[in-house]
Amino acid sequence: MNGDSPNVWEGGQVMIIGSVGFNGGFIAEVSLECGRPTYLLIRSELASLCKASAIKFLEDRRASTMYVTNTSLVREHKIEMVISAVGGASIADQVKLVNAIEAAGTVKRIKDRHALSYNHFLPSEFGHDIDKADPVEPGLTMYEENRQVRRYIEEAGTFAATYFVAGSDIGKLAIKSIVDNRTLNKTVHFRPPSSLLSTNELASLWEEKLGYKPPRVTITEGDLLADAREMRIPQSIVAAITHDIFIKSCQINYSLEQPNDVEVCSLYPELPFRTLDE
């Protein structure tokens, strides 16, 4: 991070919740690669054998791991930034994190020209913009939980939502935006033009990579809605969200003209992104 840039704050210690998950792993790796003091908050019940290798991988790169949920840790370790990458089952628990951040008083974002300090918490919204997506049930119930957390965070003044969809870029963009004052209280969208493909274009790209054309199976809107109505978790949630993406175009059916929307490619035009073709 370039501290000479007027838009960048070097920041200090960061705590990551959900670091042994898919998105959290990317974020933790990039944070450590940047040389940032990184703490991993992991519930003791998650420290199982299946997660042990992921935890050791990060610890070997100088991450500090804490197997507790004691909210006083934020204050004790003078954590300045908190990134949540928790999964769907733990989304509602983020309210407790916000309360801990407010109580600790150490989590800061950046100081503006009036020397005002901002609390900083990056919530687990590494996917669709939950206020613009509108999936059928059971996906809608999960999104409603996310929306309730978002409203709570907005009221607490700790809000900065994320909308990153390329797995290999999630960590890079999250760590970069967390110290950028242009993302303060914004929804950050990731819409690289090279990654905008229709379903047929995506299928054709796979055929090109494979070198042959396997038989195509068409899944209709009715098929997806029928799967969603079966209420088999998590299969029905996947069907509901897939319907919202590919049938209702929830990722592209709105403009980014609102004052709280910013787009990654315009923020960082110099930054290379991994394309679908790659």
Q: Is residue 130 part of a domain?
A: yes
CATH code of the domain in which 63 resides: 3.40.50.720
Number of structural domains (the chain) is 2
Q: Is residue 205 part of a domain?
A: yes
Q: Is residue 67 part of a domain?
A: yes
In tens, the pLDDT along 199-233 reads: 888 889 899 999 999 998 889 999 999 999 999 98
Is it the case that residue 190 has pLDDT exceeding 60?
Answer: yes
Q: Is residue 209 part of a domain?
A: yes
Q: Is residue 21 part of a domain?
A: yes
Domain span at residue 63 reads 14-193+256-267
In tens, the pLDDT along 136-163 reads: 999 888 888 888 888 887 776 544 433 3
CATH code of the domain in which 208 resides: 3.90.25.10
Range 116-137 average pLDDT: 72
171 & 114 share domain: yes
Question: What integer pLDDT is reported at residue 49 of this predicted model?
Answer: 62
Q: Is residue 186 part of a domain?
A: yes
Helix/strand/coil (H, E, C) string of the chain? CCCCCCCECCCCCEEEECCCCHHHHHHHHHHHHCCCCEEEECCHHHCCHHHHHHHHHHHCCCCEEECCCCCCHHHHCCCCEEEECCCHHHHHHHHHHHHHHHHHCCCCCCECCCCCECCCEECCCCCCCCCCCCCCCCHHHHHHHHHHHHHHHHHHCCCCEEECCCHHHHHHHHHHHCCEHHHCCCEEECCCHHHCCCHHHHHHHHHHHHCCCCCCCCCCHHHHHHHHHCCCCCHHHHHHHHHHHHCCCCCCCCCCCCCCEEEHHHHCCCCCCCCCCC
